[in-house]
């Protein structure tokens, strides 16, 4: 097991000679992440290396590989799209504990936020926007993209705070409230497509997307929800996610790549994550503390606001004024969200329910090809006028 800590630019005391702890190496400018394996090797290595170096870091004591990592390859497929004005005073973000200036990854851009997007397919075809859940990345749709892009123009993006998108320090331009996510989604979709789109969204960000969709029905061809929190019981975060909102303990766990990525992916269903895939999800937490700070802030917002947003989503989707064709795909092996009440809601609101027996909460990871073909069939049907 390797241990990871941030080292500040200020000199720190030397470690006690009798205690084997990670060694802090002061640097002048940025805040590198120093790791030391608990193996017999005395080598230290940094985790703030450029993307081109790769992140062949192993939790069994390995270090950077000279070969490109899966995260590098995924990054090369995408592009940065600027959308939604940066709020705040423009002051540089500081560490909430020590008041030290944060590294560039925690700083927002000066005008518009930077979103990482992966685009595939002919832009002349109908547009489909794939929206990941909480906590996850656009990378979760990597196997869905090539299937859907055969006949569609498909875009997957990282929410602010996730993946390769901006991760501003809370209170410095973006506070990660659910309303801010709704407003920023509005700006991003306007930037991505001037025409009508189909939105596919998974998990706990579904109420945010439905909130946006309520006032933009004319913009949508279809709305497809993958294991959304639909019932009153779904409004409470599972303990795996709720822990990130806790005072102090949540701030610590939010910086742990294994808890923030691996456990969040594997505790909610049958998904068995491979090491090379896990490294892509871990990477944001390995390379900067900004991902952890964002996760902590988003978890607090979810814990505080999710119940109201779930209630609003139920009301919006069940209202007679809702005219968007809506399909709900449900992974039946979801360990976070119970299926109880889902079938009743779909029947009462007259929305199509499609069961995916072998999938858990992260449907697009568990059964990527199956869910891609389900979405493709929905898109192939003419949209009601």
Question: What was the pLDDT predicted at 157?
Answer: 98
pTM of the model: 0.81
Both structure tokens of 384: 């009601």
Hey, what are 69's tokens?
Answer: 């990592």
* Other Cβ atoms within 10 Å of 239 Cβ, number: 9
Q: Which residue has the higher pLDDT, 220 or 42?
A: 220
C-beta of residue 173 within 8 angstroms of C-beta of residue 88 = yes
pLDDT band at 264 (very low <50, low <70, confident <90, very high): confident
DSSP state of 94: B
Of 116, 112, 195, the closest CA to residue 157 belongs to: 116
**DSSP E strand stretches across the chain:** 2-6, 33-37, 44-46, 78-85, 112-120, 127-131, 153-157, 197-202, 220-226, 325-331, 352-356
Spatial CA neighbour of 9 closest among 32, 28, 34: 28
Read off the pLDDT of residues 72-84 as tens digits, 9 standing for 90 and up. Answer: 999 999 999 999 9
Asked whether 257 and 286 are in contact (CB, 8 A), the reply is yes
pLDDT reading at 225 higher than 50: yes
DSSP code of residue 334 = -
Tokens coding 161: 């705070």
Write down the pLDDT at residue 385.
62
Write down the pLDDT at residue 271. Answer: 81
What are the φ and ψ backbone dihedral angles of 303, each rounded to 5 degrees? -60, -35
Residue 335 pLDDT level (bands cut at 50, 70, 90)? very high
pLDDT in tens, 18-53: 333 344 444 444 443 333 333 343 333 233 333 333
């Amino acid at each position: 097991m390797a241990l990871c800590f941030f080292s500040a630019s200020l000199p720190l005391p030397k470690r006690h000679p009798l205690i084997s702890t990670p060694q802090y190496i002061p640097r002048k400018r940025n805040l590198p992440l120093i790791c030391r394996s608990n193996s017999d090797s005395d080598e230290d290595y940094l985790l703030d290396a450029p993307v081109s170096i790769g992140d062949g870091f192993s939790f069994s004591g390995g270090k950077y590989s000279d070969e490109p990592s899966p995260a590098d390859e995924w990054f090369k497929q995408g592009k940065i799209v600027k959308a939604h004005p940066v709020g705040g005073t423009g002051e540089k973000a500081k560490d909430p504990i020590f008041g030290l200036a944060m590294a560039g990854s925690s700083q927002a851009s000066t005008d518009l936020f930077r979103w990482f997007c992966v685009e595939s397919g002919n832009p002349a075809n109908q547009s489909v926007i794939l929206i990941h859940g909480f906590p996850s990345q656009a990378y979760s749709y990597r196997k869905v993209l090539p299937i859907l892009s055969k006949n569609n123009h498909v875009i997957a993006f990282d929410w602010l705070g996730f993946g390769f998108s901006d991760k501003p320090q809370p209170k410095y331009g973006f506070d990660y409230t659910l309303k801010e996510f709704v407003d920023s989604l509005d700006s991003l979709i306007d930037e991505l497509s001037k025409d009508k789109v189909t939105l596919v969204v998974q998990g706990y960000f579904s109420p945010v997307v439905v909130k946006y969709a309520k006032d933009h029905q004319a913009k949508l061809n279809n709305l497809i929800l993958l294991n959304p929190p639909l019932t009153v019981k779904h409004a409470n975060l599972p303990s795996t996610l709720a822990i990130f909102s806790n005072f102090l303990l949540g701030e610590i766990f939010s910086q742990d790549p294994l808890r923030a990525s691996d456990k969040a992916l594997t505790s909610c269903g049958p998904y068995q994550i491979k090491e090379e895939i896990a490294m892509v999800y871990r990477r944001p937490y390995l390379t900067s503390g900004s991902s952890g700070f964002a996760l902590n802030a988003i978890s607090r917002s979810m814990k505080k606001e999710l119940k109201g947003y779930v209630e609003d989503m139920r009301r919006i989707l069940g209202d007679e004024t809702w005219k968007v064709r809506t399909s709900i795909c449900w992974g039946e092996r979801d360990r976070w969200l119970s299926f109880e009440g889902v079938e009743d809601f779909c029947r009462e609101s007259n929305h199509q329910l499609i069961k995916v027996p072998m999938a858990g909460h992260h449907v697009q990871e568990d059964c990527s090809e199956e869910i891609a073909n389900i979405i493709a069939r929905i898109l192939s049907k003419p949209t009601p006028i």
